[in-house]
A = this chain, B = another copy of it.
Amino acid sequence: MTTPRPTTNASLITNVRLADGRRVEVSIVDGRIAALGAALSREPGVPVEDGGDALLLPGFVEGHTHLDKTNWGLRWYRNEVGPKLTDRIENERRWRAESGHDAGAQSLALARAFLAAGTTRVRTHVDIDTDAGLRHLDGVLATRDTLRDVLDLQIVAFPQSGLLGRPGTDALLDRALGAGADVLGALDPALIDGDPVKSLDLTFALAERHRKPIDIHLHEPGEIGAFTLGLLLDRVAAHGMQGLVVVSHAFCLGALPERERDALLARLAELRVALLTTAPPSVPVPPLTACRAHGVTLFGGNDGIRDTWTPYGSPDMLERAMLIAMRYGLRRDDDLALAFDCVSGVAARACGFEAYGLQPGARADLVLVDADTLAHALVARPVRKLVVAHGRVVARDGALLAR
Chain A residues within 8 Å of B, Cβ to Cβ: 75-76, 78-81, 279-283, 306, 309-312, 322-323, 326-329, 331-334, 336, 371-373, 375-376, 378-379
B residues in contact with A376, CB < 8 Å: 76, 311
- Known A-B contacts A76-B375, A76-B376; the reply to A281 vs B326 at CB < 8 A is yes
Which of B279, B312, B323, B327 is close to A379, meaning CB atoms less than 8 Å apart? B312
In the bound assembly, the distance between CA atoms of A323 and B81 in angstroms comes to 20
Is the Cβ of B75 less than 8 Å from the Cβ of A372? yes
Is the Cβ of A322 less than 8 Å from the Cβ of B333? no
Is the Cβ of A329 less than 8 Å from the Cβ of B79? no
Which of B76, B327, B328 is close to A373, meaning CB atoms less than 8 Å apart? B76
In the bound assembly, the distance between CA atoms of A283 and B281 in angstroms comes to 9
In the bound assembly, the distance between CA atoms of A312 and B329 in angstroms comes to 11
B residues in contact with A75, CB < 8 Å: 372
- Known A-B contacts A281-B327, A326-B282; the reply to A79 vs B333 at CB < 8 A is yes
B residues in contact with A373, CB < 8 Å: 76, 78
In the bound assembly, the distance between CA atoms of A91 and B44 in angstroms comes to 52
B residues in contact with A333, CB < 8 Å: 78-80, 311
Q: Which 10 A-B pairs have the closest CB atoms?
A: A281-B281, A282-B329, A76-B372, A76-B376, A281-B327, A76-B373, A79-B332, A311-B379, A78-B333, A281-B326
Nearest opposing residue in chain B for A377, CB measure: B76
**Other A-B pairs, 16, CB within 8 Å; known A76-B371, A281-B326, A323-B326:** A75-B372, A76-B376, A78-B375, A79-B375, A80-B333, A80-B334, A81-B331, A280-B326, A280-B329, A281-B323, A281-B329, A311-B333, A311-B375, A311-B376, A312-B322, A312-B326
In the bound assembly, the distance between CA atoms of A333 and B327 in angstroms comes to 23
In the bound assembly, the distance between CA atoms of A313 and B306 in angstroms comes to 23
Nearest opposing residue in chain B for A378, CB measure: B311
Interface centre among A80, A281, A376, A378 (most CB of B within 10 A): A281
In the bound assembly, the distance between CA atoms of A78 and B375 in angstroms comes to 8
B residues in contact with A323, CB < 8 Å: 281, 326
Is the Cβ of B306 less than 8 Å from the Cβ of A379? yes
Nearest opposing residue in chain B for A88, CB measure: B331
In the bound assembly, the distance between CA atoms of A336 and B76 in angstroms comes to 13
- Known A-B contacts A375-B311, A379-B311; the reply to A282 vs B328 at CB < 8 A is yes
- 27 interchain pairs (CB within 8 A)? A75-B372, A76-B371, A76-B372, A76-B373, A76-B376, A78-B373, A79-B332, A79-B375, A80-B332, A80-B333, A81-B332, A279-B281, A280-B326, A280-B329, A281-B323, A281-B329, A282-B326, A282-B327, A306-B379, A309-B331, A310-B331, A311-B331, A311-B333, A311-B378, A311-B379, A312-B379, A323-B326
